[in-house]
Amino acid sequence: MTIKLLNKSAHPTPKYETLASAGMDLRANISTPITLEPLQRAIITTGLFIELPVGYEAQVRPRSGLAAKKGITVLNAPGTVDADYRGEIGVILVNLSQDNFTVEDGERIAQLVIAKHERAEWVEVDKLSETSRGEGGFGSTGTK
C-alpha cells in the first residue's frame, strides 16, 4: 500500500528497520530540547503529515526500549491518527521514571503502525447471548 506523506522535518522519512517490523520509528522535530520531569507529559511534534486511505488508521505506540530503560511512554497508547486528519503528527510522551528525561531533536520517540480497521453499525437489542464468562471482567479469569 502507498500513503501520501509530507515531511516538514529535517529528519529521514520513517521506514521499517527490518523486513518483519510492524512499526516505523517517529522522530522528534523540535527546535530546542524538551526536558520531561517525573510524571510530566508533553506533545512532541514530528514534522510529519500523512494522508491515509479510508479504512486505515496510524497507531502511535511507545518504543519498548525507551519504556523499559527510561520509563518514557506514549500516554494515550496507542494514539490514533484517523484517515481524515491532515495535521501534524504529535506524540504525547510521559515520563514515568523518577529521573528527568530530555528529548532531543531527531530522537526516536515512538513508533507508527498502519492498521486496517472496520466501522461498526450498532444493532440495539433487549438481551445478549449467554456465555460461560458472563459479566465477569477485570481479572475474573484469574492471574495464573
Which domains, ranges and CATH numbers included, belong to the chain?
4-12+23-116 (2.70.40.10)
In whole angstroms, what is the distance from residue 58 CA to residue 81 CA?
5
**What is the pLDDT, as a whole number, of residue 140?**
74
Per-residue confidence (pLDDT) for residue 98, from 0 to 100: 98
Does residue 131 or residue 5 have the better pLDDT?
Answer: 5
The Cα 74–Cα 103 span in angstroms is 13
Q: Which three cell numbers stand for residue 23?
A: 512499526
Question: For the whole model, what pTM was predicted?
Answer: 0.89
Q: Residue 133 has what pLDDT?
A: 83
Q: Categorize the per-residue pLDDT at 109 as very low, low, confident or very high, splitting at 50, 70 and 90.
A: very high
Average pLDDT over residues 75-102: 97
Q: Which three cell numbers stand for residue 72?
A: 518514557
Task: Name which of 21-25, 76-80, 85-89, 133-137 the model is least confident about.
Answer: 133-137
Cβ neighbours for 97, distance < 8 A, ≥ 6 positions apart: 38, 70, 71, 72
Q: Looking at the predicted structure, is the pLDDT value of residue 88 above 90?
A: yes
β-bridge mates for residue 36, sequence order: 101
C-alpha 95/C-alpha 32 separation (Å) is: 18
Q: Which residues contact 70 (CB under 8 A, 6 or more apart)?
A: 97, 101
CA distances (Å), origin 69, targets 65, 98, 104 = 6, 12, 17
pLDDT confidence bin for 35, thresholds 50/70/90: very high
CB 50 within 8 A of CB 44: no
